[in-house]
């Protein structure tokens, strides 16, 4: 082996020794090295470009937009080419055959769901944009071949899952759901109880068995070969199980993340690992490690905190939180978002928002047609886990009820997310102004379906072409703001960020420095707000240009922000005109 592969083998060995006894770790290392050396990417992986201000991620199901007689993945590509060419990165939610949870109960990791299309369609989507794949590594469908092996007591699957006596004390285990942790399964050996963190259809894999790790590493490498530039580690916080602990964020879990980063950086330099850990903020940050785990972590605090800010018309909490944020380790950034295929998670507000305020926010969302999902606590009680509602309809009003500002409030919320330090991500329904899909909830019986509408292309296009529809207003204005962001170095993911505290109704953030500096001001209230430009710029010799409107503001005058107005201010000499 070359010096490079020798070093790689040593690094993989160190990862494996955290997980398994020395002799097992040595064998595991050799077999991983064999997988690497047999990969088409071995010594041939091209390096990917670093993220910049031009990069914006779209989150979409393969069938979020459908057209009669066409594979949904092909429809998605056609829609993106025609209506969202600004998108540089695409997260296609699980596109494998599945048995439940809209894709996250995977039956076959290496097959494309025939209802969506073929691998060729995935590769074609990746020709003009970077792709994020879901690596659903914590659990697998009970309809999978591996679990069929378990039921029949056949290798290899018979040893791929965690079987425990029914009366095992699992009260310490942190749960994201309210149903029992151990699912009863009828097998040839009688009823067995297996570990199922999320649902009885999603059976957790046993990474204590190195064969499971090796099988999943093989799949991980194949995803890189198929064009994944970003790999999303779904529900990774629950990966390693050890009775007597909370079975979340265990050291072995972090080591698996480090191992996958090592593999991705060697096989596809520039590819990125992102961890999906919907937990309190400090726990979420732990997946940066020392700059050796995830390249990106979801900023899970943003969706509920921006929602709270807009619902209350007060930016104080958001301002204080943003000012307290420590910068990520070098080479690591936040993935900023307001909405995703899941609900608006509430765990990230723990320690930030009092319980009575969370309850009040939930009541407001229920008034706007939303629901709340619960999770089980160790003491046997349940507590709110997420709000189920589209982010567009979550902006229907304030704590006082619905009002006329829904579109403006929504655009303000999305634009606020767009300017923060990190990589911005839009759920496709946020770029389409999609309302609550109550019909979807009725059909599926699942609360999350409210935010997973499947648009007919023939229904959607006329709504986008008209000027007076909410869908058109939202879509075209967000595209315009995305395009403007892509032209400004101040919005590079790693450009400096400074948050100001000048008014309870305003959220103010400065991005960049010197000539590139842009100060973004957001009125989060349903009334006009005035702001002294001299106070903001600390100078009476400078004026500013609002890049969103191209309007020049003299330093001698106060800024007047209408309800939910956003300004991107670039300081200029006071007598400068902007063309």
Tell me the residue length of the chain: 579
User: Quick check: bond before 557 cis, omega within 30?
Assistant: no
d(CA 3, CA 37): 14
Q: Determine whether the annotation assigns residue 234 to a binding site.
A: yes
Question: Residue 372 forms beta bridges with which residues?
Answer: 387
Q: How far apart are CA 186 and CA 99, in angstroms?
A: 18
CA distances from 287 to 7, 296, 462 (A): 24, 9, 43
Q: Distance (Å, rounded) from C-alpha 288 to C-alpha 291?
A: 5
Q: Are 261 and 224 in contact (CB under 8 A)?
A: no
| Contact by Cβ (8 Å): 59, 341 | yes
Q: 538 a known binding residue? A: no
The answer to whether the annotation marks 82 as part of a ligand binding site is no
DSSP summary character for residue 205: B
CA distance linking residue 278 with residue 174, whole number of Å: 12
Indicate the burial class of 292 (C-beta count within 10 angstroms; 0-12, 13-18, 19 or more).
Answer: middle
User: Is 139 assigned a ligand-binding role in the annotation?
Assistant: yes
If 0-12 CB within 10 Å is exposed, 13-18 middle and 19+ buried, where does residue 208 land? middle
**How many Å separate Cα 118 from the centre of its chain?**
25
Cα 214 versus chain centre, distance: 26
Rounded Cα distance, 146 and 365, in Å: 41
Positions marked active-site: 234
Residue 295 known to bind ligand:
no
Do the strands 182-187 and 163-164 form a parallel or antiparallel pair, or are they unpaired? unpaired
Q: Report d(CA 171, CA 180) in Å as an integer.
A: 10
SS3 per-residue string spanning 324-348: HCCCCCCCCEEEECCCCCCCEECHH
Beta bridge partner(s), residue 384:
374
Interatomic CA distance for residues 540 and 520, integer angstroms: 19
* CA–CA gap between residue 374 and residue 315 (Å, rounded): 27
Q: What three-state secondary structure class fits 350?
A: coil
- Is 448 annotated in a binding site? The answer is yes
Q: Helix, strand or coil for residue 20?
A: coil
Q: What CA–CA distance (Å, rounded) separates 263 from 213?
A: 13
Residue 432: closest CA among 388, 403, 390: 390
Q: DSSP H helical segments within 325-466, as ranges?
A: 355-367, 391-394, 406-419, 438-444, 457-465
Whole-angstrom CA distances from 56 to 131, 335, 529 are 12, 10, 30
Binding residues: 101, 139, 232-234, 341-342, 448
Binding positions for substrate: 101, 139, 232-234, 341-342, 448
């Amino acid at each position: 082996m070359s010096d490079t592969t020798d070093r790689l083998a040593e690094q993989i060995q160190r990862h494996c020794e955290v997980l398994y006894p020395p002799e097992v770790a040595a064998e595991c290392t050799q077999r991983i090295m064999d997988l690497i050396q047999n990969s088409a990417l071995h010594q041939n992986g091209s390096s990917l470009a670093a993220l910049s201000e031009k990069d914006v991620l779209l989150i979409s199901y393969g069938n979020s937009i459908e057209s009669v007689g066409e594979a949904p993945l092909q429809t998605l590509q056609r829609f993106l080419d025609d209506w969202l060419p600004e998108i540089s990165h695409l997260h296609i939610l699980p596109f494998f055959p599945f048995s439940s949870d809209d894709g996250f109960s995977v039956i076959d990791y290496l097959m494309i769901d025939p209802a969506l299309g073929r691998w060729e369609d995935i590769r074609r989507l990746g020709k003009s944009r970077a792709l994020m794949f879901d690596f659903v590594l914590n659990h697998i469908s009970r309809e999978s071949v591996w679990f069929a092996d378990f039921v029949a007591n056949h290798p290899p699957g018979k040893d791929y899952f965690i079987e425990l006596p029914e009366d095992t004390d699992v009260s310490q285990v942190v749960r994201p759901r309210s149903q029992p942790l151990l699912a009863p399964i009828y097998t040839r050996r009688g009823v067995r109880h297996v570990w199922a963190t999320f649902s009885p259809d999603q059976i957790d894999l046993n990474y204590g068995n190195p064969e499971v790790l090796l099988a999943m590493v093989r799949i991980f490498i194949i995803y890189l070969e198929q064009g994944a530039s970003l790999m999303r580690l779904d529900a990774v916080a629950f990966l390693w199980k050890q009775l007597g602990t909370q079975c979340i964020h265990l050291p072995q879990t972090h080591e698996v993340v480090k191992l996958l980063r090592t593999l991705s950086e060697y096989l596809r330099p520039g590819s990125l690992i992102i961890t999906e850990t919907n937990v309190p903020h400090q726990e979420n940050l732990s997946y940066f490690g020392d700059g050796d785990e995830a390249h990106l972590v979801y900023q899970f605090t943003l969706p509920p905190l921006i929602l709270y800010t807009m619902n209350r018309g007060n930016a104080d909490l958001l301002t204080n939180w943003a000012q307290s944020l420590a910068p990520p380790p070098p080479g690591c950034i936040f993935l900023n978002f307001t909405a995703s295929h899941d609900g608006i998670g509430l765990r990230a507000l723990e320690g930030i928002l009092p319980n009575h305020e969370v309850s009040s926010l939930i009541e407001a969302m229920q008034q706007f047609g939303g629901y709340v999902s619960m999770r089980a606590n160790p003491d046997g009680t349940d507590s709110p886990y997420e709000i189920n509602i589209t982010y567009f309809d979550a902006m229907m009003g304030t704590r006082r009820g619905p009002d006329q500002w829904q579109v403006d409030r929504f655009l303000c919320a999305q634009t606020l997310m767009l300017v923060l330090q990190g990589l911005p991500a839009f759920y496709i329904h946020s770029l389409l102004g999609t309302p609550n899909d109550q019909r979807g909830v009725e059909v599926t019986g699942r609360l999350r379906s409210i935010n997973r509408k499947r648009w007919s292309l023939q229904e959607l296009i006329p709504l986008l072409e008209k000027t007076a529809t909410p869908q058109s207003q939202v879509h075209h204005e967000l595209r315009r703001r995305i395009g403007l962001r892509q032209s400004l170095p101040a919005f590079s993911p790693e450009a400096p960020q400074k948050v100001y505290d000048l008014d309870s109704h305003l959220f103010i953030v400065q991005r960049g420095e010197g000539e590139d500096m842009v100060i973004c001001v957001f009125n989060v209230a349903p009334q006009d707000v005035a702001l002294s430009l001299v106070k903001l710029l600390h100078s009476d010799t400078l004026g500013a240009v609002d890049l969103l409107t191209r309007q020049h503001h003299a330093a001698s005058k106060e800024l007047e922000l209408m309800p939910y107005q956003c300004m991107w201010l670039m300081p200029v000499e006071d007598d400068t005109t902007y063309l």
